[in-house]
Amino acid sequence: MKRVARWGVLAAALILAPAPEFAAAAPPPRRDTALEAALLAHIRVLASDEFEGREPGTEGEAKTLRYLGKQWFDIGLVSGTNDPGHPWFAPVTLVAREPAASAAVFARKGKRLYVPPGAVLTLTSGKRALIENAPMLFVGAGIRTDRLGRNELAGRVAVLLDGGQRDSDRQNALLKAGAAAVLTVLDSDRTLDQVAARRRRSGYALASDMPGGDLEAFIGADSFDRLLLGSGTNLAALKAAAADPAFVPRPLDLLATMEATTRETTIRTHNLIGKLEGRRPDSGAVMFLAHWDHFGKCASPPAEHAICNGAVDNASGVAALTEVARRLSRAPQPERDIYFVATTAEELGLLGAAALMENPPLPLKQVVAAFNIDSVAIAPAGTPLAIVGRGMTPLDPQILAVAKANRRTVVAGSQANDYVKRQDGWMLLQHDVPAVMVTSAYGDLTLLERFFDSDYHRPSDVVKPGLELGGAAEDVSFLVALGKWFADPRRVPLAR
């Protein structure tokens, strides 16, 4: 994008009932008001209307990355991309896909059957998918795909009962097992209009993820029953057969020709990567990350406020990331490199983190620990810490040791793991990078869920009087302690 040239100037110059894990008798917390003020100053800028909701690929992105890049440069970080061609800003190319054309024709014994216009919705994740004169196989609920041989499904349209199950796992399993397409019969309370409304929204993926020509279709129960007229069966009989434990898929006396196309839009966006250089970069690295993006303009008139500013989610996280970097830069030089990554497109499916894993600035085996920071402006000072990702990495004993040394309480149990797939650390875990969130924001799940039920992903997530930053400031201090601990190879050896 053209704005990259402007950024290049900078680049060149620049829980369960909380039985506490540690219940040390500590005095009431002393608020770090200066740190809270610094966090608030960042959040006011990043969550202002001027930044337009920090949507990837927009001028709001340009303003966000210019602001963060200047902050990091002034702190004393250096570019962490380790790519002379793209200092500071690692390009990420996204593709937005939305349904375009949809067509379906059915026939029996060479005779085309009438289907009302709009009675069938066909979809594909690729640019175009087409099947012609494919035989149809009724698979019932389609749960036991292991009973279906690939030869049985190959070249056929699997006809699946909806049954009120709104996930796509069964359709994906049938496609993976060899079906040419899946036609879901909406035999429950779900309507074709509801499916169309949900699937009409854009889906996002990395441009490097080349989708196949999968073809998925939906048809109303009445329309499907009309197709079966003259075939010797009907939908009610098929549903009764499918309810029998001894049910086996049965061919239908129908052929299907279906086509779907997708409209694609390319979005060019960036991860921002800075680095605090260590004395011994060969000894591994520590990584801190937080996503900078949000939804941009997300409401339409007559709404008075149309921008999703994302003050808590996640201006507070990148504010905390920046202040962690500032405090670590003031400490003695660490032994290990410490990376700071502001990721793009988290809200679109952890895509910036996925791009980071596809093209990391260092070998992933060199990352001894990664700490994600997300939506920290929730809990007051004195709230216990939670580990999101507890039990999923070897980091827990070390984190608990740092907590004990810093007189911080960590909630017992792994209830916070209910949210582990909803944050960038999950993408790192999929690539065997030990990544967790250690935060007070998840130390009191009642407060967290109150945020989810109110301002989360809404235009109301703005800087308000009394924005809670007590826990966020304490999180910054603890993350600084974690950074110092894990950057010391004597405490945390690099696994070879």
- Which of 19-23, 253-257, 383-387, 476-480 is the least confident region? 19-23
Q: In 3D, which of 185, 144, 148, 181 has the Cα closest to residue 165?
A: 185
pLDDT digits (tens, 9 = 90+) for 382-405: 999 999 999 999 999 999 999 999
Architecture of domain 3-95+267-486: 3-Layer(aba) Sandwich (3.40)
pLDDT at 14 over 50: no
pLDDT band per the 50, 70, 90 thresholds, residue 146:
low
CA distance 386 to 416: 7
pLDDT at 179 over 90: yes
DSSP states of 355-375 = HHHHS-SS-GGGEEEEEE---
Comparing C-alpha atoms, which of 232, 233, 253, 227 is closest to residue 109?
253
Q: By C-alpha distance, which of 145, 106, 138, 139 is closest to 122?
A: 106
Answer yes or no: is pLDDT of 19 > 60: no
Q: What are phi and psi of 226, to 5 degrees?
A: -65, -35
Residue % of the chain over a pLDDT of 70 = 92
Per residue, what are the HEC states of 172-193? Answer: HHHHHCCECEEEEEECCCCCHH
**pLDDT score, position 9:** 35
Average pLDDT over the chain, rounded to whole? 91
- The pLDDT, as a whole number, for residue 27 is 54
pLDDT of residue 17: 32
Alpha carbon distances (Å) from 410 to 320, 386, 393: 20, 6, 16
Indicate the range of 31-40, 192-201, 343-352 predicted with least confidence. 192-201
Q: Does pLDDT of 133 surpass 80?
A: yes
Which has more pLDDT, 28 or 398? Answer: 398
Return the pLDDT at 13. 36
User: Residue 168: what pLDDT?
Assistant: 80
Q: Is 272 helix (H, G, I), strand (E, B) or coil?
A: strand
Mind listing the pLDDT tens digit for each residue in 328-386? 999 999 999 999 999 999 999 999 999 999 999 999 999 999 999 999 999 999 999 99
| pLDDT value at 8 more than 90 | no
- With cut-offs at 50, 70 and 90, classify the pLDDT of residue 43: very high
What's the average model confidence in pLDDT over 292-299?
Answer: 93
Higher pLDDT, 233 or 201: 233
CA atoms of 483 and 371, how far apart (whole Å): 9
pLDDT band at 202 (very low <50, low <70, confident <90, very high): confident
Give the pair of three-digit tokens for residue 173. 């399993």
- What pairing do the DSSP bridges indicate for beta strands 128-140 and 157-161? parallel
The sign of the dihedral angle between the CA atoms of 54, 58, 62, 65 is positive
- Indicate the domain borders of the chain: 3-95+267-486, 96-264
> Is the pLDDT assigned to residue 142 strictly greater than 50?
yes
Cα-Cα end-to-end distance for the chain = 40
pLDDT digits (tens, 9 = 90+) for 238-295: 999 999 999 999 999 999 999 999 998 999 999 999 999 999 999 999 999 999 999 9
Domain 96-264 in this protein, CATH class: alpha beta
Q: Does the pLDDT of residue 433 top 80, yes or no?
A: yes
Verify cis geometry, omega within 30 degrees of 0, for the bond prior to 384. Answer: no
Q: Looking at residues 129-138, what average pLDDT do you find?
A: 96
Confirm if 348 and 203 have CB atoms less than 8 A apart: no
Q: Which two tokens stand for residue 322?
A: 């920046």
pTM over 0.85: no
296-311 mean pLDDT: 88
At a CB cut-off of 8 Å and minimum separation 6, what does 180 contact?
Answer: 131, 134, 153, 154, 155, 156, 157, 215
Pairing of strands 120-123, 367-372: unpaired
**Separation of alpha carbons 375 and 476, rounded Å:** 13
**Would you say residue 5 has pLDDT above 80?**
no
